[in-house]
């Protein structure tokens, strides 16, 4: 059964993901169709028989002993200076936050 996403759901998603605070009707229609198509594809994938297929993540088990030891950095001032230089030279910032443009790639 194909799942249909309505425009109101797309509007909520756009708001929650901060893509748009006031999406246009064209935006809502386009992404309602695209999200519906994605969900239809996922439903098709769920119908695939995976019995007997091993999950790929079971081949590597990580134990606590496999992790490296935490090592205190000796050049904290050097790293702090690098961090400050990056923040200072970034084109758009708000305090210590770097502002990057976000756009939807089609």
Neighbours of 76 (CB within 10 A): 9
pLDDT at 1: 54
Q: What is the C-alpha to C-alpha distance for residues 65 and 36, in angstroms, rounded to an integer? A: 45
DSSP, collapsed to helix, strand or coil, labels residue 38 as: helix
The domain segmentation of the chain, as residue ranges, is 7-48
DSSP, collapsed to helix, strand or coil, labels residue 89 as: helix
Instruction: For the full predicted model, state whether its pTM sits above 0.85.
Output: no
- Taking a C-beta distance cutoff of 8 angstroms, is the pair 79, 39 a contact? no
Per-residue pLDDT of the chain (106 residues; tens, 9 = 90+): 567 889 999 889 888 888 777 888 998 999 899 999 999 999 988 888 888 877 765 556 667 777 777 777 777 888 888 888 988 899 988 888 888 888 776 6
Q: What is the C-alpha to C-alpha distance for residues 58 and 75, in angstroms, rounded to an integer? A: 38
pLDDT at 101: 84
Q: What is the C-alpha to C-alpha distance for residues 36 and 13, in angstroms, rounded to an integer? A: 13
């Amino acid at each position: 059964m194909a799942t249909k996403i309505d425009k109101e759901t797309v509007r909520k998603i756009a708001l929650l993901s901060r893509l748009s605070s006031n999406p246009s009707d064209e935006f809502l229609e386009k992404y309602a169709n695209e999200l519906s198509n994605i969900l239809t594809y996922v439903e098709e994938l769920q119908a695939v028989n995976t019995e007997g297929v091993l999950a790929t993540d079971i081949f590597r088990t990580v134990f606590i002993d496999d992790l490296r030891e935490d090592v205190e950095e000796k050049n904290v001032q050097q790293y702090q200076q690098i961090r400050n230089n990056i923040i200072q030279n970034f084109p758009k910032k708000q305090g210590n936050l770097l502002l990057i443009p976000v756009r939807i790639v089609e």
